[in-house]
Structure 1
Amino acid sequence: MISKEQLKQVKLVAFDFDGVFTDNRVITAQDGTESVTCWRSDGIGIARIIKLGIKVVIVSTETNPVVGARAAKLKIPSIQSVEDKAGAILEICFQHGILPENAMFVGNDINDIPAFLSIGIPIGVADSYPEIYPHILFKTEKPGGFGAVREICDILYNAQTADK
């Protein structure tokens, strides 16, 4: 479980994309282009925590224009083709002077385990694969692609503004 004190210390949230922003499904057209669906109100949640000074980034193993397009729409950076998510997140922490224990990573699958182990607050979405459960502190009530990102943002926003 995550304490309110831990949530108050979060300075960076890194999100996986597929299965977190999306419901893990992909629509592939005959020309090979791919489409996904995302939860529109995730953007409001992200905007609110950015206003608090929390850095937000998408870190994805995939290389897909849809990731960059969604990130651009949300006005957040995305890093794609990442084989070592832990290393990427730690580099982001270093670049911004953020201690890894004040970083959160939200993922859903076994390729996220090294990232979970590298930071202070590992989170899984409701429909995560069970293999990640031993490596996360919290699981959202909402599944990926159906408001899990917004849920995390709201939890952070409420914790960091509760005493203000």
Structure 2
Amino acid sequence: MSPDSPLAPTLADRARKVRLLALDVDGVLTDGRLYFQADGIEIKAFHTQDGHGIKLLRQAGVEVALITGRESPMVTQRAAALGIEHVFQHRDDKLTALRELTQSLGLELEQAAYCGDDLQDLAAIQAAGLGITVPNAPPYMRREADWVTERSGGHGAVRDICDTLLESQGHWAAVMDRYSLDATDRGRP
């Protein structure tokens, strides 16, 4: 782990075990506000950096899931665009969904990270191997989580999680190599 890692060493050890990142949607992948057009169509805004982080995490072999209490075609579209196969909508009991998913994937709860921002996420945050919330969550949620991201939901919080998991699991150098110019290309000997 780098010296500027947001995780304490004991949490970094838990992050190394993560094989599944499960995310709430509203308040985590979005800023939590709901937008409706005059015709009743719901609109959600997603952060592109979160999406790229999810793609990088999936390429490193970590499964990603969405578990949301609401049902929205926007969630279905976003999940499809990111290649997320595990999508649970209209599920208020997030822990039951998380248990079903870990069981179907042959994982233990300690191999799962869960990020949510409100009361219906609490049990899943407490049960996951790495329970995460965002700074825009209520204080009682922040107290219960193992880790509170620096950036808020809808503003790059999920990217922070993905980058930290990639770094914790030793994948960060490969990510940087994929996107960086080598020394020769930068005009260096």
TM-score, normalised relative to structure 1: 0.94
Cα displacement (A) at 1:3: 2.3
Q: Is the 1:20–1:143 Cα contact (8 Å) retained in structure 2? A: yes
2:53 maps to 1:45: yes
TM alignment of 1:124-139, pairs within 5 A: 124-139=133-148
Q: Is the 2:134–2:142 Cα contact (8 Å) retained in structure 1? A: no
Gaps of 5+ in 2: 1-7, 174-189
Provide Cα deviations, 1:37-89, integer angstroms capped at 9, x if missing partner. Answer: 11011121111111121110000000111111111111103110112110110
Cα displacement (A) at 1:146: 0.4
Q: Is the 1:49–1:153 Cα contact (8 Å) retained in structure 2? A: yes
Alpha-carbon distance change, 163 to 45 in structure 1, aligned in 2, over 3 angstroms? closer
TM alignment of 1:1-164, pairs within 5 A: 3-77=11-85, 78-161=87-170
Cα displacement (A) at 1:135: 1.8
Q: Which amino acid aligns with 2:33?
A: R
Structure whose CA Rg is larger: 2
Q: Which amino acid aligns with 2:114?
A: F
Provide Cα deviations, 1:4-62, integer angstroms capped at 9, x if missing partner. Answer: 21111101110000000001112111111010111011121111111121110000000
Distance 2:102 2:41 in 1: 33
Provide Cα deviations, 1:94-118, integer angstroms capped at 9, x if missing partner. Answer: 1111110111000111111121122
Alpha-carbon distance change, 163 to 43 in structure 1, aligned in 2, over 3 angstroms? closer
TM-score, normalised relative to structure 2: 0.82
Alpha-carbon distance change, 75 to 163 in structure 1, aligned in 2, over 3 angstroms? closer
Gaps of 5+ in 1: none
| Identity score, percent | 34
Q: Is the 1:109–1:131 Cα contact (8 Å) retained in structure 2? A: no
